[in-house]
Every structure is written in structure tokens, then in C-alpha cells.
Homo-oligomer: A and B are copies of this chain.
Amino acid sequence: MNKLLIVGTVAFDAIETPFGKTDKILGGSAPYIGLSASQFNVESAIVSVVGGDFPEAHLELLRSHNIDISAVEIISTGKTFFWSGRYHNDMNTRDTLSTELNVLSDFQPVVPTNFKKASVVVLGNLHPLVQSSVLDQITNDDALVILDTMNFWMDNTLEDLMAVIKRVDIITINDEEARQLSGQSSLVAAARKIHEMGPKYVVIKKGEHGALLFNGDNVFFAPALPLEEVFDPTGAGDTFAGGFAGFLTKTNDFSFENMKNAVVYGSALASFSVEKFGTERMCNLAPKEVFKRLQLFKNLTQFDIELT
């Protein structure tokens, strides 16, 4: 079976939206990516770190979705990474209220031996040196490497970020970050500049406005499903990345045509994630529900103009 390696944060999140607020719930990029990818029944593992305060129930939740967490280091004397944020009424912007790195500050990722030859590697949002150190441990030269990052690393560790970007096949990034990284206001121009930095594929996430996939002159676009209500956008980007990576791992076909399908799966799965707080919706998602939503995506986007 094809293997998917996920490196990212495992965290406590405390989230406030206009609909309510949570205590410390399961968060971090890796659980969102892993739970989303678990829809494809691939063999996956998370490399991360948590503190002694991290509940066994959260670990068990990940295990129960067939995610190998033997490489999630538990530092019993430390505390788990914590983030809290408050969304504005439009749900498109948020304020970070608190970020406590805790055990993440000294994180030295160790890739398990049985995942060094993973066919797909997702480098979730983390310090670019941590992302690079994971790549150093991968022994499959043909692995498809997907990197996610954010403006924080552009502001603070640009050189390290550029070094790891050069080594990956695909970068996923939001629209504002693509503009910042490239210095271009047009997303078409931004994608071209980012191609030149290394990645053959550039995925630009536009939140409620969908996602674009660029590969040279090839472009594909998938909308976000128009929703009556977005309950909590936290993790939508990671859920997208998890669906994208999970589908590619399962199909083992890294052509542009198949990546289109991966983008659609990623969008469909992200549309569930925002329906409830945190990872709740993704923990209880039946294949039948995903199937129905893909049908909605087809109805939403497919048309039938014949060009001959």
C-alpha cells in the first residue's frame, strides 16, 4: 500500500467565532491533514511532538483513523503547543489571541524507518528548518513532496524558507501569501514567480473563493462549495491539503489531470471541516457523505458545451 508521511503541529486550539467558543480542543495542522487523508484508507503516519498534558483520548482518536502516531514524540515534562484565535463576523479574518510554542520550540523530527520511503510527503506549516530536516531523512527520490507554509516564515525566516521551497514539488499557499512571496499582485504572475523558486506545482488557496492549481501554463480551478453558514474555518486549508495528498497517495498518479481530481477532493473535504468546531466534523464523516458532496461539486462546476 502507498504511504503518506505527514509532518506538522499537533496542538491545543481555543477558538472563538460569532457562533460560540471552545475550550482547548484538538488542533494543529497534522490532525487536520491526517483525518482528511484517512478518507482514502492509505497508510499514513504523523511526525510531531506533544507535551505531557496531551490527552490519550486525542491520540486514540488519531489511531482509530488508522494514522500511525508512533512518531509523535511525547515530552512528559513539557506542554503542548497552544494557539487561540477569534474570528471576525465575516469569518474571513481572525485575530490571534495567543501562541505558546512550548514543546514545539525544540522539535527535532525523526521520520520512522518504515516511512522513509513514503510515496507522498506533506510538510505542514512549521519552521522551514524543521521541514528541511524531514526531507533530509526521506530516501525515496521519487516521493511527491507537498509543502504548506505561511506569512510568518516569510517575515522571519525567508532564507530558510526559500531553501526548502526549492526542494519541493508542490507548494500550497493562500492568495495573500502568494502575493507576498512573489511580490506580484496578479495570481497568475505570482504562480509563475513561485514556479521559478522550485515547485513544479503551485496551489493557491483563496478560502471561500476556492483554489487554483498551476503547473506551467496549465491552470485548474475548484470553487469552495457555497455554504449557508461557515461555522469555524480553522483547519480548512490543512483539510484541503490532506484530501489532496490522500487522493494522490491512493491513486499514485501524479499527472496534472489527476491532480485536478485531487483538488476537487480537497475542496469537498474542506467544505465539511468548516461545518463544526475544530476537527469534529472530520472525525465522523461517512464515505457516503463525501460521495454526495462530490456529486454537488459536479453539479456546481460541470457543464456541457461541446467544442468541435
Contacts and interface: CB of A to CB of B under 8 A. Distances in A.
A203 to B, nearest CB: 13
B212 A226 contact: yes
B305 A264 contact: yes
A97 interface: no
Nearest to A187: B226
Contacts of A302: 301-303
Given A219-B300, A260-B303, A228 B186 contact: yes
Contacts of A87: none
B304 A228 contact: no
Interface residues of A, number: 39
A265 B187 CA distance: 23
A301 B221 contact: yes
11 contacts: A186-B229, A219-B226, A220-B299, A220-B300, A220-B301, A220-B303, A261-B303, A264-B303, A294-B305, A298-B307, A302-B302
**Lowest 6 A-B CB distances belong to which pairs?**
A260-B303, A209-B209, A188-B228, A221-B223, A188-B226, A261-B305
Given A187-B226, A210-B223, A223-B223, 17 more contacts: A186-B227, A188-B226, A209-B210, A212-B226, A219-B226, A219-B299, A257-B304, A261-B303, A261-B304, A261-B305, A264-B305, A294-B305, A294-B307, A298-B307, A301-B301, A301-B303, A302-B303
Interface of A: 89-90, 185-189, 206, 209-210, 212, 218-223, 226-229, 257, 260-261, 263-265, 291, 294-295, 298-305, 307
